[in-house]
Structure 1
């Protein structure tokens, strides 16, 4: 029987799909995306000339897997005036997009569809279909979703898991109920964050990480400029844990959104699991 969380997620996705259905009668001609993840889904699925703008985040290497593609579109910063003057008949936004912006666009008569961040691989696949439907690109979206789903299925590791941990600036980690956790489990790892009781995201003390002794630590690349929050990534204790494993891995833009680009992150996790070999 599915968990209560899975049931609620299914209800949320079904509600989003139902709210989007009226758009299918008239395929939108001018679509603006204000969210990094809907940017990428829209660039994958929109017909030529249908997408007229993506968010400025789509051009940031640290965040976006489609920087080159994003250069073909005018960038927006999610400001009501800027977006409205683009004369969209559909705006794609995230559920964390500023409420006042979404409300004002709707009061101005602009159709806004908000897409929540995917917290599982199943949601990621379903969101491709949802965005395809609101764009009137069902056939293309279904093909992309089916291929993505098949690739996920073939990527599943069979065998005893090794341990892994996410460790980011300020000691931030990712635990259960997240897309990243599902990727870790898919590729043959048990997530230290999840086994330590972290749900969603939270802080994992460095001492606890060292005591857990994960076989793999997934960190992030340092951003340009100085940031004291990143100093922990240079801590000798963290380096010792990484050196003991002998395998180093950094997350990148492919981890950010639930798009088919996630398969590249999955591929790197598979390579890391293969490098670690069998259970000790």
Structure 2
């Protein structure tokens, strides 16, 4: 699979003005940092980085101490730089900055075009620009290979609480890059949000993309057990959006490869 090419960086050591001790407190910055950091440069990742349902790099994350996003525990790690997301806890971010620690907050990637920019942001922060350019080169090569011809099979996302994804999302861009037609456009929806099960059934997509349920029970998942949805899915292809869908990193090529395989099966009548 294409994503297998994105291994941990083990090349040149930290040098110059690059930070020697980096802490990541966000799942997506965790992954970018693990792919780009020099040996010993990344000293902690967020606890969710070890969750196999959320993190495509959960095995690699097992090799790092974890943090839970608390200002006190991060301060005690003596970081030169903290990587966070724009939606990270503002109180934690403010406390760390008040203590004189540099905190870099990365924007969310809303499209495939955003991913190289996020890679180079982290690469520049870590003093690993050459590694960032190499990672982008591999990503863009794989992205070109995995592009599907447009107006292919019709597909929909359907998650707990009847939630679906709109046109302004990374998942939409991934789906259409793989050559699928996202039926949310037929429904006239630009933003992500809830969609009535009746509308989904009437639209009759060729592919329904769901998520892997967590252990335990949730009322939000009850709609996913509705007989009408079961009938729809039994007549269409189905797949889950796994951890390689979660963050805008080069690992999305794994999801694109899965989409290509599903599309091939639909078009072959399998």
Same topology, TM > 0.5: yes
Q: Out of 70, 74, 95, which is 1:83 matched to? A: 74
1:187 matched to 2:181:
no
Question: Over residues 232-268 of structure 1, what are the superposed CA-to-partner deviations in whole Å (9 max), with x where a residue is unaligned?
Answer: 11111111111112x2211111100011211111111
Question: Over residues 33-67 of structure 1, what are the superposed CA-to-partner deviations in whole Å (9 max), with x where a residue is unaligned?
Answer: 00000001000100000000000010111110011
**1: CA distance between counterparts of 2:173 and 2:74?**
35
Aligned equivalent of 1:114? 105
Q: Which residues in structure 2 correspond to 1:115-154 (within 5 Å)? A: 115-154=106-145
CA 1:117–1:159: 2 relative to 1, 3 Å? closer
The structure with higher relative contact order (CA 8 Å, sep 6+) is 2
Aligned equivalent of 1:224? 215
Aligned equivalent of 2:262? 272
Pairwise CA RMSD: 1.5
Q: Check the 8 A contact 2:150/2:179 in 1, yes or no.
A: yes
Question: Please, which runs of 5 or more residues in structure 1 have no aligned partner?
Answer: 1-23
Q: Out of 211, 223, 235, which is 2:202 matched to? A: 211
**1: CA distance between counterparts of 2:104 and 2:130?**
20
Q: Which residues in structure 2 correspond to 1:47-86 (within 5 Å)? A: 47-86=38-77
Q: Check the 8 A contact 1:193/1:204 in 2, yes or no.
A: no
TM-score by length of 1: 0.88
CA 1:210–1:255: 2 relative to 1, 3 Å? same
CA 1:25–1:177: 2 relative to 1, 3 Å? farther
Aligned equivalent of 2:3? none
**Greater share of helix:** 1
TM-score by length of 2: 0.91
Q: Check the 8 A contact 1:175/1:197 in 2, yes or no.
A: no
Q: Out of 248, 251, 266, which is 1:258 matched to? A: 248
How many residue pairs end up in the alignment? 255
- Helix, strand or coil: the match of 2:113? helix
- Helix, strand or coil: the match of 2:60? helix
